[in-house]
């Protein structure tokens, strides 16, 4: 039988962990979503779909994104340590955690955005060309309208992935709910309650993110059909 009563110290540790996880998720998302989206559009429009002439940039970016996604996240964090130290003079803590999360986030978002654009009906691009649409008009009035629901779902999946990755950044001193669940909870003979509560909170955060993403995507999908 699990007793979910927390001591004042455990409550304080849990609040700190929630704030740390939220901070890591928000900052890494603010970095990875814009950059990953830009790369994703380049990969889709200049790569597989070949809406525009294929260039070396899309090929190089595609290889880089594939390499990043092929590296296990724990190993990626270790590889980031020298970079973090050389740039910011620190090898542990929030900074290397954010760098690792942002890099894997960029790679994840870029592939999800690429897939969302690739799945658009090719006739949309032909229609835009026949109407003489500029690149901005193609994006604003055709691509964005057709793909926005899929993009929202892609961003939602990326956020869930970042939240999952954030649970292991405690390895490089990033803290968060992963730290309270494993280091303080699992490895402590009296910390099982904290482990379970931290795990439940992670599940709730995932469900909240997924619910909000689904609601927004469904709203945009109905608006497009309407």
The pLDDT assigned to 224 comes to: 62
Largest Cα separation within the chain, whole Å, is: 69
pLDDT at 14: 87
Where do the domains of the chain lie? 8-225
Which residues neighbour 189 within 8 Å (Cβ) at sequence distance 6 or greater? none
For the cut 60, the answer to whether the pLDDT of residue 75 exceeds it is yes
Q: Which residues contact 192 (CB under 8 A, 6 or more apart)?
A: 2, 185, 186
Does residue 179 contact residue 202 with C-beta atoms inside 8 Å? no
Q: Could you tell me how many residues make up the chain?
A: 226
Ranges 49-53, 83-87, 107-111: which has the least confidence: 49-53
In this prediction, residue 170 carries a pLDDT of 86
* Structure confidence by residue, pLDDT tens digits, 143-174: 888 888 999 999 999 999 999 999 899 888 88
Mean pLDDT of 98-119: 93
Asked if 170 and 178 touch (Cβ cutoff 8 Å), the reply is: yes
At the top level of CATH, the class of 8-225 is: mainly alpha
The DSSP H or E segment spanning 99 is helix 94-118
What is the average pLDDT score of the chain? 85
pLDDT of residue 1: 47
What pTM does this model have?
0.88
* Long-range Cβ contact pairs of 46-50 (< 8 A, separation 24 or more): 47/114, 48/114, 48/118, 49/117, 49/118, 49/122, 49/125
For the segment 129-156, the average pLDDT, to the nearest whole number, is: 83
Q: What is the pLDDT of residue 20?
A: 92
């Amino acid at each position: 039988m699990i007793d979910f009563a927390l001591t004042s110290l455990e409550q304080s540790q849990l609040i700190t962990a929630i704030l740390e996880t939220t901070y890591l998720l928000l900052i890494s998302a603010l970095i990875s979503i814009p950059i990953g989206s830009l790369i994703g559009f380049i990969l889709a429009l200049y790569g597989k779909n070949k809406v525009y002439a294929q260039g070396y940039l899309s090929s190089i970016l595609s290889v880089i994104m594939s390499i990043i996604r092929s590296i296990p996240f724990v190993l990626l964090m270790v590889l980031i340590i020298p970079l973090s130290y050389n740039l910011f003079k620190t090898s542990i803590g929030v900074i290397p955690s954010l760098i690792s999360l942002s890099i894997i986030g960029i790679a994840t978002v870029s592939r999800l955005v690429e897939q969302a654009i690739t799945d658009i009906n090719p006739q949309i691009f032909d229609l835009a060309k026949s109407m003489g649409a500029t690149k901005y008009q193609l994006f604003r009035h055709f691509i964005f309208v057709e793909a926005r629901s899929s993009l929202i779902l892609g961003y939602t999946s990326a956020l869930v992935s970042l939240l999952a990755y954030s649970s292991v950044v405690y390895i490089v001193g990033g803290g968060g709910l992963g730290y309270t669940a494993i280091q303080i909870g699992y490895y402590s003979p009296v910390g099982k309650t904290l482990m379970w509560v931290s795990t439940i909170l992670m599940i709730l955060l995932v469900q909240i993110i997924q619910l909000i993403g689904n609601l927004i995507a469904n709203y945009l999908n109905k608006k497009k059909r309407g």
